[in-house]
Amino acid sequence: MSAPSMAEAVPSALTERRVRGFMRFVAAEAAGGLGDVGTFVPLVLGLVIIAGFDAATVLLLAGLMTIYSGLRFGLPMPVQPMKAIAAIAIAGSLSAQQACAAGLAVGLILLLLSAFGLTSRIGRLVPEGLVRALQAALGVKLAVTAVRIVLTSPAADLAVLSTGGYGLILFLAALAALLLFRRRTALVIWALLAGGILVAWFSAGGEAPHAMITLWRPRSVFTDLSALSGIWGGGLTQLPLTILNAVLAVSLLAGQLFPERKAGTTPTKLALSIALMNLISCPLGGMPVCHGSGGLAAHYRCGARTGWSLVILGGGLLVVGLLLGSLAVYWMRVFPLSILAALLTVAGLTLVRASRCWSTRRTLISALVMVAASQVFGTLLAGFLCAGILWALLSLVSRRRAEQVNAAVRPVWAAAERGSTDDSKKQSE
């Protein structure tokens, strides 16, 4: 080979190698960005179909916040719906306005806590076991809501496509697919989304709106003071879960997975990030969002290593919400409730499994009491308060028993120490 041709071949080979490396990087980050769809998709569908959120607004603002999170932290820091508020809204106890008010209140409180550096101190006041019980109760609430959707058939009230007598079969088939292929959750969810759209299309006689480009327009959702009741109905229940799972647990996990970025993921910075996202998103009608340790682990497990995974994901959400909002609204509105119920069931079971509420007897009892009390009083906040009182009483009883045991054992230990001292003196003599 001549010298000129060799000089041309070397840069060409280097360029080709760089292009291949860049494509592998983009593919890995894009796949990693889909790692949290198992939580994101069911809750977003539920908030749009049942709670009445605007699909275009939810997708656009979620896309913006996801891009912000990826660029702000430089790692796959997830942006998820606030699970307590979402579960309560999907169960029908909060309207879209009330859910936005709850998210706005949580954002304001986190802003104050981060400003005074009190996030970690407040987090230490709430027992971890009690938060695990709350997470399990949220999972049960989602699963119960899903079963209620299948059994009560609210399609006529919600103006959502009814699958008629095939609803139960569709629900069981979707649920079986999600449970049998748990290691390919993202692939199964995308397949179910496509299948649900096909079912809706066939049920509509093969008619569907054209993909018209409609530019999103901002609008305020707070039209009256009744929305403020969402602060009590959802915000106060969400706050302890956010502080422990979305702030403290995420800070710890991010430091373990990305030690070089530990200084940028302190509890104060994470709380400030969640506060800013909700102060911007909720007044415009976006769903309340937070970070999450489970989402961070899911992104990392699927191959995401940088913030570009979220930039790619957020860019897709942004384009759909900004330009194809009307199409997204239509397909979410006619999406089969049976498939939505299956997605919500698995999301609820995932929350219960992640909570590990059975790890201690006290946590398990608290979770059961929380579920029972929330059903009796009709609100998860009442269940959380009842479980908190029970947790305090059980802690007091445990402390009293420990003191009694110490009081009973102390004389025995003292006698044993005196005996060993006497023996050592005799041996020395």
Listed by start position, the domains of the chain span 28-358
Instruction: Give the pLDDT band of residue 380 (cuts 50, 70, 90).
Output: confident
Inter-residue contact 59 to 284 (CB < 8 Å):
no
Structure pTM? Answer: 0.76
Token pair belonging to 125: 């006041």
Distance CA 48, CA 40 (A): 12
Q: What percent of the chain has pLDDT over 90?
A: 19
Positive or negative, the CA dihedral 265, 293, 303, 78 is negative
Instruction: Give the pLDDT band of residue 205 (cuts 50, 70, 90).
Output: low
pLDDT computed for residue 422 by the predictor: 55
Distance CA 150, CA 142 (A): 13
- CB-hemisphere CA count at 13 Å for 410? 6
Please state, in angstroms and as integers, the Cα–Cα distance from residue 117 to each residue in 2, 72, 114, 267, 277, following that order: 67, 20, 5, 9, 19
Distance CA 242, CA 234 (A): 12
Mean pLDDT over 146-172 rounds to 61
Residue 154 clears pLDDT 60, i.e. is over it: no
Residue 24 clears pLDDT 50, i.e. is over it: yes
Pairing state between β 80-81 and 289-290: antiparallel
